[in-house]
Amino acid sequence: MKRLLIKIAFDGTHYHGWQYQPNGVTIQETVQNSLRKVLNKSTSVTGCSRTDAGVHATQFCFHIDCDDTIPDTAFKLGLNSCLPNDIAVIDCKEVNPDFHARYSCKSKRYIYKFYIGGRDPFKDRYAMRLLAKPDLLLMNKFCSAVVGTHDFKGFSSSRRTVDDTVRTVLDCSVYFKENLLLFDITANGFLYNMVRILAGTALEIGYGKLPVDTAEKVFVNGDRSLGGETLVAKGLFLEQVNY
C-alpha cells in the first residue's frame, strides 16, 4: 500500500465545485470515476480544499491510498487518458503514509482575475469584466490591512461550516499582469467565499464606493454588510498549494 499525492489543474466552469454532491457533477466525482478505470476498483480521494461551483484551479492537490504497482509516471499518463479535457494531472508522486492533502497544507494562494474594456469571449470565461480602471493605490491599502492574523467572520458567507473564523493572511496585493488585473492572496486557510468577498471589497474601495479603512471596521464589528459584494466564481483560481 502506498500514498500518492496527485496535483491537477481544472476548468471549473461545468462543475459544482470539488466536493461530491448528489445533485450535480463535481471534480471529486469525476476524478474518482476515472481512478476506478485505472485501478479497476473504487478508491477514496481526499482533496486539499473545497472549491465552489465555477471556481478554477491551476494547482489542486489530493491524495489516495493504493496498492497499485504502476510507476508514478505511468499512473499519471493512465489517469490523464481517462479524465475529460477540462481536468488534467500535472504531477504525481509517492508521499509518506502520514501525509494528508488537507491537514498537511501550510498555505494556499488564490488569484482573482479582472479584465478592463469591451467584452472579450476569450477572457470572459475566466475573468470578471470591468468597465473602468479602479484605483490600485486604494485597493492595495486595503490589501495591506488584511495581511496578518484577524477574525475574518465579516469577510465570509453565513453558509460557512466552521466555528473558528480566525485566519492568517501571509500576503495580499493587486497588480496588473498580461493585460489582466489580479487580486493575489496567500493565507494559512480560507473561509467560505472569503476570497471572493475580499476581492469584491477591494474593488469597491478602488472605485470609491467603500472607505479605505473598511478592513478595520469589519474586523472590529464582524459585520458582513460593511464589506463589498461576493464576486462571481469564474474569476477565481486556486493558484498554489504549499506543504
Question: Catalytic pick from 52, 67, 124, 213?
Answer: 52
**DSSP H/E element including 240:** strand 236-242
CA neighbours within 13 Å on the CB side: how many for 193? Answer: 19
State the Rg of the chain over Cα: 19
User: Catalytic site residue 52?
Assistant: yes
Torsion of CA 220, 196, 51, 107, to 10 degrees: -60
Residue carrying the nine cell digits 499525492? 5
**DSSP H/E element including 82:** helix 72-82
Q: C-alpha 92: how far from its chain's center?
A: 20
The span from the CA of 47 to the CA of 28, in Å, is: 8
- Tell me which residues are annotated as active site: 52
